[in-house]
Amino acid sequence: MAGLAGLAAEKGHKVTGQDKSYYPPMSAQLKNLGIKENLTEDISDDLRNCDLVIIGNSLSRGNKCVEYILDKNLNYYSGPEWIKKFILNDKFVFVISGTHGKTTTTSMLIKILKENSFDPSYLLGGMYKEDNVSYKLTSSKYFIIEGDEYDTAFFDKRSKFVHYEPNTLVINNIEFDHSDIFENINQIKKQFHYLIRTMSSKTNIVYKENDKNVQSLLDMGCWSKIITFKKFDAVPNIFGDHNLENCGAAISAAETIGINVESSLNALKKFTGVKRRLELVKIDKFILYDDFAHHPTAVKATISAVKQKHPGLSINIFFEIRSNSMVAGTHKDYFLESFDGVNSVYVYSSKKIKWLKPTNKIKIFDNIDTVAKEIISSTENVDIVILMSNGDTSHIINKIKDNAK
């Protein structure tokens, strides 16, 4: 929502926000924009006096603010609905979707278009590292947006991406996740199918060849031009097989507007990565990576990439169980095996995790300061630490930095 707030501010609106909490890097982005954030679940004066409310998908009936909006008959939109109507209506839209790799692929495509003088607008779920923001609104006709399969709002249970009407849709992959809103992978495919049914024959779908889940989705019906990812064994400045696939996705998407492979590869030579996606944190005593991985497939891909880049070095993991799917144990059958090849895994969660028990390798903590101390003491016998969380890791990074001096 912080990126959406930025887009609204760029359009000339006076923007305020309300949430029960927020954290870096999005909190810093809002502060830099001068956007007032009310950290309360109560009805604020800003809500009472606004002309329009954009409602995030975490709010539901029974929430004080939601009930006030409905009782007072205030004008409101979901975030995706507002973006479609006021931002994307006259743009050539790239939608980057899939269970994994959305933010990295989106960032790569932004870099390719920028280096080829297309100066795209964009909105992504993380921070585009080069600009240190999650959004940008330019005069270009091209808009690149990360397409999340999560539901739109309490009043619209379709996936967010259904609203975006892509000219080029990238589907990186499809796996089961978000068990709090989907019962099985077929329900996720159905949302993708709803999106594909809205796309004209003049649009493009870019996907990974031989992905069985994506192929079965396309077999449900497809009217767009089908393009498979370019394949690369190596790309300068990129490491990890999953990131090579992300490169192939971004380069193939760029081809749909006439950017050739050589130009895209030259652009990616200058790609500086993505915040919190295998981001190297400067520590003198050992190697520290900060990563967003929170699904077993992403965990395995991250570990594999680090082992490829640093062969023979020992690895410890900090893993926060935070997503609804992980807390519920949706991926418990694959959890332990996703950490093959590492020394120890320090699992932290502020919530009670009933499905996971400690082992010689798996250590479980419910206090962030305690786990930080354990990780720091472990670095005497390990070369690399990877932080994995889809939440805020700034606290534990600061603790590690303080103790590594």
CATH number at residue 302: 3.90.190.20
Are 6 and 134 within 8 A, CB to CB? yes
CA distance 85 to 306: 42
Domain containing residue 342: 279-404
Q: What is the pLDDT of residue 404?
A: 67
Q: What is the pLDDT of residue 17?
A: 87
Does residue 28 share a domain with residue 136?
Answer: no
Buried b (16+ CB within 10 A) or exposed e, 103-113: bbbbbbbbbbb
Q: Who contacts 26 (Cβ-Cβ below 8 Å, separation ≥6)?
A: 2, 3, 134
Does residue 241 share a domain with residue 166?
Answer: yes
Confirm whether 273 is domain-assigned. Answer: no
Q: What is the pLDDT of residue 312?
A: 94
Among 42, 74, 106, where does a domain finish? Answer: 74
Q: What is the pLDDT of residue 309?
A: 94
Q: What is the pLDDT of residue 369?
A: 87
- Whose structure tokens read 């975030």? 79
Q: What is the pLDDT of residue 304?
A: 96
Structural domain tally of the chain? 3
Q: What is the pLDDT of residue 36?
A: 76
Does residue 165 share a domain with residue 87?
Answer: yes
Residues in the chain where the model's pLDDT stays below 70: 404-405
Among 74, 107, 126, where does a domain finish? Answer: 74
Q: What is the pLDDT of residue 179?
A: 86
Does residue 337 share a domain with residue 223?
Answer: no
Does residue 159 share a domain with residue 49?
Answer: no
Does residue 249 share a domain with residue 110?
Answer: yes
CB 254: neighbour CB atoms within 10 A? Answer: 26
Does residue 121 share a domain with residue 65?
Answer: no
Confirm whether 335 is domain-assigned. Answer: yes
DSSP per residue over 351-402, as a string? S--SS----SSEEEES-HHHHHHHHHHHTTS-SEEEEE-SS--HHHHHHHHH
CB 91: neighbour CB atoms within 10 A? Answer: 18
Among 228, 246, 268, where does a domain finish? Answer: 268
Does residue 289 share a domain with residue 251?
Answer: no
CA distance 59 to 42: 13
Q: Who contacts 55 (Cβ-Cβ below 8 Å, separation ≥6)?
A: 66, 69, 76, 77, 78, 79, 153, 154, 155
Does residue 204 share a domain with residue 286?
Answer: no
CA distance 146 to 170: 10
Does residue 371 share a domain with residue 240?
Answer: no
Tell me the sheet residues that pair with 143. Answer: 93, 121
CA 61 from centre of chain: 26
